[in-house]
Amino acid sequence: MEKNIIKNLKKNKKTNSSWLLMLFAALFAAVVANAFIAHDGGKDTVQVSGPVELTFSDVLRRASEIQTMNIRDDVATGKLSDGTKYRAVITYNPELLEKIASNGATVSIDTSKGWVDYLGTWVPIIMGLFFIWWIFRGLRGGAGGLSRSLIGQNPTKIMTGKPKTTFKDVAGIDSEKQELVEVVDFLRDKSKFAAVGARVPRGILLSGEPGTGKTLLARAIAGEANVPFFAASGSDFSGIIVGLGVAKIKEIFEMAKRNAPCLLFIDEIDAIGQKRSQTSFNDQDREQTLNQLLIEMDGFSNETGIIVIGATNRPDMLDPALLRPGRFDRQVQIDLPDMAGRKAILELHAKKIKMEKDVDLGELARGTTGLSGADLENLLNESALHAVRAGHKLVAHDDIEEARDKLLMGPRKIRKMRAEDIKLTAYHEAGHAFISTVYADVADPIHKATIIPRGRALGMVQHLPIDDKVSMSLAEIRANMRIAVAGRAAEEIFFGADKITTGAESDIAMATRLARRSITMAGLSDKVGLVAINQAQTFGARLPLENASEKTAEIVDREIKKWIDDAYADAVKILTKNRATVKKLAEELLARETLTGEEIMKIVSPKKSLTKARKKVAKK
């Protein structure tokens, strides 16, 4: 029945819109015609027998020859004494008219108005009055008036029936899915909750970084429960006319009530749910829309059978009234998938792609730390696209490697580099690679080293973690700092202090960031102690030394510099002692451009091709 109502509304809106369009088109054509005729000076009404065109100076010179003159606006028509008809554009001049009349000519001035003149005068007024009436009609009608006219172009997507998406299509967030099983059970069978007096959450807020699967999870809930699913975006409730957002909120909740029990999903809810300000009066429409949403979610009618699911990337921006129990009483944080989750997501999307049997999705999951579900799906799609470009019938390991490098570092760059720059880059990456093998038991195992330019990087050494890390030990931090500055150390050892380059810019930034967080937030420095000097803000924003005095700030700066200097000194010492091996690594990179972790280990330690960390991975 809901579909028929929507269909009839759309049909009526389409008919009304067509009628209004035709009316406005006719009025517009009439105005244009009036402007054209006025500009043409009524030429079409007087040019019947081809009168002679006279200039204003001709009229002045031949005033004695004029027999009749009829003036309308600035156009004069009539006959000369020899019977010739004329037409001229003149400027109103009483002395000229008096001179022509004194010669016996008949002069008349036509001040009457035709229907076109009246049309040009009244059409703009009528159109303005009609628009004002249309607006006030909508405002008086509220959701039944304004929403039926302005919301005729409503972008809200309405779905009835069972969405195709289910929990089987959602992978990598099993704990989050478990939080929402109760909602599915309530939508399937409300009586068992009512029997024990339990109240199912009226609203669920899904928060997390982009691409983590918030929208997909909401659709899966509706699919599992087999209930109508109404979807809208926060921006759908914003408009240039005050009151439009309120009307849209009313309309979508009214439609949801008629289909209860159902799910109402509002994506990017922070667009209308931001905190209300006590000082700003520039966004009253958004605040009115928020107030209406608060009333609909927990107003006088509590038992509506509607479960509202909101999704946002910025839960910190939402108004506290929206987050209180009774509205969004359950908040589910969807984190980036861990290693097992990434593998499950890759296996889910890999079913749609034809791959070679030797493709190891587990290794790919280890090398994609920090990627969301959307990123992983995009990675496999890029792999398939690369396979097509390369002429492969199946997606191979090389296709996935190329896609991963492109996603993490950027597309491959074709640059004309000097031979000395390429050589320096090779030694720089060889320094990173060698120190990585030295600390293989502490740091993540090395995956590969390359001097192929990608993005802003001229080369890179990649590591694959054995498992997900939730924290780092002091030994790991110091090892990673030595690995970070090893590239600059290799440049100085093999080319001299005056030949070092800016290529270590990102390495130095990473080492500094690692040292600063360890000292100011993790309490890993003896000189600073267990004091939280820098409090991490949302999305990486950081206030510089907000809890420190100037003296403490100086101590922190000296401690950071000491940590980096010690790491650099250790890297120089290790590389100098193993100069021949590092040189061999660099020469191999120059010859082959890319070395795998296995190949690097064979060069560094010919007797053993796997580190202890690699053996652990192989056993898994």
Count of alpha carbons within 13 angstroms of residue 69, beta-carbon side = 28
Give the whole-angstrom CA distance, residue 323 versus residue 320. Answer: 5
Contacts 24+ apart (CB under 8 A), 517-520: 518/474, 518/477, 518/563, 519/556, 519/559, 519/560, 519/563, 520/545, 520/548, 520/556
Q: Which helix (H) or strand (E) holds 75?
A: strand 75-79
Instruction: Report the pLDDT averaged over residues 557-577.
Output: 95
User: pLDDT band for position 19 (50/70/90)?
Assistant: low
CA atoms within 13 A on the CB side of 248: 30
Query: Residue 8's pLDDT is what?
Result: 46
- 163 pLDDT band, cuts 50/70/90, is low
Confidence of residue 154 (pLDDT cuts 50, 70, 90): very low
For the stretch 95-126, pLDDT in tens is: 777 777 777 777 777 766 666 666 667 777 88
Residue 300 clears pLDDT 50, i.e. is over it: yes
Residue 145 pLDDT exceeds 60: no
Higher pLDDT, 447 or 147: 447
pLDDT of residue 70: 80
In DSSP terms, 77 is beta-bridged to 70, 87
**Interior angle at CA 180, CA 352 and CA 162, nearest 5:** 55
**Marked catalytic residue, from 176, 296, 402, 429:** 429
Of the listed ranges 224-228, 382-386, 439-443, the one predicted with least confidence? 224-228
Spacing of C-alpha 352 from chain mean position: 26
pLDDT 10s digits, 244-272 = 778 888 888 888 888 888 888 888 898 88
Per residue in 204-227, pLDDT tens? 999 988 888 888 888 888 888 888
pLDDT tens digits, residue range 504-544? Answer: 999 999 999 999 999 988 889 999 888 888 654 444 444 55
Least confident of 390-399, 440-449, 459-468, 565-574: 459-468
**Selection from 59-68, 81-90, 362-371 with the highest mean pLDDT:** 362-371
Local confidence band at 406 (pLDDT 50, 70, 90 cut-offs): confident
Residue 87 has what pLDDT? 84
* Whether residue 261 has a cis bond before it, omega within 30° of 0: yes
The answer, yes or no, to whether residue 41 has pLDDT greater than 70, is: no
To the nearest whole percent, how much of the chain has pLDDT over 90? 22
Q: What single DSSP character describes residue 22?
A: H
Greater confidence (586 vs 61) lies with 586
**Do 335 and 212 meet the contact criterion of CB atoms below 8 Å apart?**
yes
User: Is 429 one of the annotated active-site residues of the chain?
Assistant: yes
Q: Is the pLDDT of residue 475 over 90?
A: yes
Q: Provide the token pair at 304.
A: 């509506």
Q: Is the Cα torsion angle 537, 542, 543, 549 positive or negative in sign?
A: positive
The structure's pTM equals 0.67
* Low-confidence winner among 62-71, 257-266, 492-501, 571-580 (lowest mean pLDDT): 62-71
Q: Is residue 573's pLDDT more than 80?
A: yes
474 exposed, middle or buried (CB, 10 Å; 0-12, 13-18, 19+)? exposed
**Three-state secondary structure call for residue 434:** helix
